[in-house]
Each structure stands twice: as C-alpha cells, then as structure tokens.
Amino acid sequence: MNNTNHTIAHKISEFDLNWPGPLRGSTHEVALDKEHIFVSGQNMALVAKCNYQGQVLCYYPMPPGSGPHGLMLDKLGRLWVSLEFSGLVVRLDANGAIVQQHNVRLFAEGAATSINTAPHGIALDDDGETIWFTGKRTSTLGRIHPDGRVEHFELNTLAALPIFLQAGPDGGIWGTELQGNAIVHVSRQGLVREFPTPTQPSGPIGVVRDPAKNSMWFSEGTGMKIGRIDMEGNITEFPVPAIQKGDTLASLCFDRDDNLWVQVYVDQNSCKPEGTDYLLKFDKSILQAPPGDLSNVPITTYAVATKGSMMHRIKRDHEGNLWFTEMMTDKLGRILL
C-alpha cells in the first residue's frame, strides 16, 4: 500500500462509567441527543445518562436480570431500550422509568411457553416511528409498528446471530449476521434477503448508511475487512491493514466530512493479546476507491490509551465529534473533531 498512515492519540479522551455494584465488563450501546449521552450496562441492568463532558449524571435501573442492550432515540427524542434477557423493548421517560413496553417473544400456536427472541440491536425505521429489533437467539428480525403490533421475520440461516440494524436509503432495514456471515435485508413489504460475504467466515458487526445514500458499509470482525453493499446486494470488500496479530474489528461510522472510522481492538483470547487498541480513519476517498483497493486512500491511526477495551459501538454527535463504548473496561470514549 502507498497510503500514508499517521498515528495520533491526543484527540481521544476516555471516561470511566463507574457502574455501581460488583459487576464489570458489560458496557454496550450508546445513543446521543443534543444534551445527553446514554450508555447501556447489560449485566449491571443499568442505563447511564452522561453529559457531554463525559460525566455520569445518573443511572436508570432496569428490571434485575433484564439485560439492557440496544439503545435508540425516536423522532420525538424518546429513549428506547431492548431488554435482551427479558424479551422486551421498552420506552423510558425523562426520569428513566419504563412507561411503555412491547413483548417481542415468539408465541407458537398451542405452546404453553413463549420463546425469548433475545432482542439485541434496535433501530428506527426511516418513517421515524417503526422500531426494528434483532432476534439474536431465534435467527429473526422483528418490527414493532406504531400501533404496537409486533411482526417477526424468519431468516433462512439457522443460528445466524443477527446483532445490528440500520435503516437503508431504499426504505428497508439492513442488518449483520455475526455467525451467519451475511448481510440481511428486509424490505418494507417484508421480503427477507440474505447476502453472504465473499470472505468466510467474516463475522460482520456494524452496518451504516453511505453518505451518498446509495449503499451500506459494514465491518467484518474476524474477516478484518470493511465491506460495501449496494441496494441489489452486490458486495465489495476492502482489507483493513492490521497493526498486530489478534486485531479484531468492531463497529464503524462516518464523520461529518464523510471519512469512515472503524474500531479495532486486540482479541484478548488470541495467542498474543498484547498491543494497543485503536481506531482507523479512512479518508473519504474510500467512497470512490476501486473494489478492494485502498492504495490511494489515506489512513490515520488513533491509539486508545486503555488496553483490552473490546470497543463495541461508535456514533457521531450533533457537533460532529465521535463517541464510542469500551465493553470490557467500562469506559466511554470521545474523539474531538
């Protein structure tokens, strides 16, 4: 590769979430409005409410053992949380109390018990009202209509482990199948399509909309590649230049200048877990790069001070800065841009 790779560290700040209680290592999703940052602590059964200085203002307690994971703000700015261990998607009021809930379990005809779909990731439909969720345990995607009706869509791949969702420019929803090694799409009419990644296994994690709104980009956790998929399902992959053995991709996002940021952390289960976690910024020229060719795309490395972070999610705030979560070190990170 001829692309220049600079290493920068000073723009990253980390803030300890100081979860109360003995449980640690379970910081997951992040959602942002213009005043606050919300972070889910799954095993702690808490949602943290932070300010833009990274300070925790308060914790919203969820039902014990409910496993809050996915976070989402609807068009009215209301916070929704997926309670993965309870099979519920709930809405919180300004004080963190549950004021609305939807049971997203599967009920088989004639069965005495229901099956927990394990709603992991949640996302807002382009209509600003409909909520989508991943059935992590049941290889399904689900849709909660504005009237409260819950609809389930079965994937063709068994044990696909769908985990992440994002509304697409085509009016449908796009998601990643961590174990199915595919990108899934459900149209507004309910047609399910699955597109296997060229790299197998790939372990796709995050998926985001292209700034030009003509495709989606995704990260491959174990494939160490980023991919682009158009609205017809054609996939192009780009190899990510790893710094060390054991590097694994997490999620990704675009900044306000259309540069693509990708989280990279060292897998602590690898044979050589030492090393620094970091974020890669791919210059916006990646949007026009030839398939599989990053040779003319400048790449910048942003080192994260804390090791063993297992970064999980990354999102852009209203001022253009980026915020990310560190699952194992229970920290919230910020990149000033």
pLDDT at 269: 76
pLDDT at 277: 94
pLDDT at 85: 98
Q: Which two tokens stand for residue 207?
A: 């998926």
Spell out, as residue ranges, where the chain has pLDDT lower than 70. Answer: 1-10, 270-273
Q: Cα separation of 220 and 204, whole Å?
A: 4
pLDDT at 185: 98
229-234, Cβ contacts within 8 angstroms, sequence gap of 24 or more? 229/174, 229/183, 229/195, 231/168, 231/169, 231/170, 233/183, 233/185, 233/193, 233/195
pLDDT at 10: 60
In the 8-state DSSP scheme, what is residue 280?
A: E
pLDDT at 105: 97
pTM to 2 decimals?
0.95
Q: Cα separation of 246 and 284, whole Å?
A: 27
pLDDT at 2: 46
pLDDT at 334: 97
pLDDT at 4: 54
The beta-strand segments (E) located in 24-87 are 27-32, 37-41, 46-50, 56-61, 68-73, 79-83
Just give the CATH number of 24-259.
2.130.10.10
pLDDT at 6: 59
pLDDT at 1: 43
Per residue in 269-316, pLDDT (tens digit) is 766 667 889 999 999 999 999 999 999 999 999 999 999 999 999 999
